[in-house]
Amino acid sequence: MSICELNKNKAAELALPVGLKPTHAWQCYTLMQHPGLIVIRNPFMALGQRYWMSRCLRDYPQKPNISNLDANPAMADFSTDWWMELQRSTDKQAKQRIKTSMRWTTLGYHHNWDTKVYDEAMHNKFPDDLKALCQFFSLAIGFANYEPQAAIVNYYPIGTTLSGHTDHSELNLKAPLFSFSFGQAAIFLIGGTTVDEKPSALFLRSGDVLVMSEQSRLCYHAVPRILPTDLKPWNDCLPPTKDDDKAVGHCMDTVLYSNVYDDQFWLPFEDYITDSRINVNVRQVLEFGKTEFK
């Protein structure tokens, strides 16, 4: 692996998003055998990790976003506000069932799992804070004009897997795919454009960012194992006092960013993440300059 030179000049055109370490502190790597694959080792500060985990658990599963619960009649009561239902539950077995029921939710353009295509009719507004975060990363690694338009948030209890697949449904396959890991660790495998090629293994920890661009964009990849970790970077190096003045800009939920500093507020999120991993995959669907399918 070799260190990937960050495009600091272009990234400097945007203010550093709240919750990120300055770009000079990032550790960025490429794999020689997988051109276009970039790994950024945890560029998030502790509060940054807490913010994004909270967004993924509390907010992103809510309507009008689509989740796996929508197609399951047995989970219909949980699909409106899954996180609130989880917090309300007092029965241990029921709580565990609700917790593990959430496996994915989609944002922006919603991927149709049956047809494997996107549809203009299945589309709602992409979150502004996640858009700003991805555009900053895009500039930092040298991709201009990136427009985040679709995301899949995956929820992995320990013991679950993701089978080998490629991401080829987008019209724009030149734009990078951003993958953010939070919570427990995972083994990530990436191979080639056929299943016959031997894959390489990466160990992803909480806060790591994986970027698939260029040739790696169409390579088979999988998550064969979620692993427990003793590391909890979302609790490390919290500022000694809460500084609300820093929680501004980049369309963030400033109230949420302030609240995740408080351990009592954070406790239910901590309980969830102790045996689970969250993965946020963001991609550009349309060709540059287009605003809808035609």
d(C-alpha 190, C-alpha 173), whole Å? 17
Give every CB contact of residue 204 below 8 A, 6+ residues apart in sequence. Answer: 181, 185, 186, 187, 188, 210
d(C-alpha 97, C-alpha 13), whole Å? 46
Q: Look at strands 66-67 and 104-108 and give their pairing.
A: antiparallel
Give the single-character DSSP code of 294.
-
The 3-state DSSP class for residue 251 equals: coil
d(C-alpha 177, C-alpha 41), whole Å? 16
**Residues 225/186, Cβ–Cβ less than 8 Å:** yes
Amino acid found at 184: Q
Rg (CA), the chain: 18
253 is in an annotated binding site: no
111 is in an annotated binding site: no
d(C-alpha 69, C-alpha 76), whole Å? 7
* Residue numbers belonging to the annotated binding site for Fe cation: 165, 167, 221
Q: Residues annotated as binding site?
A: 165, 167, 221
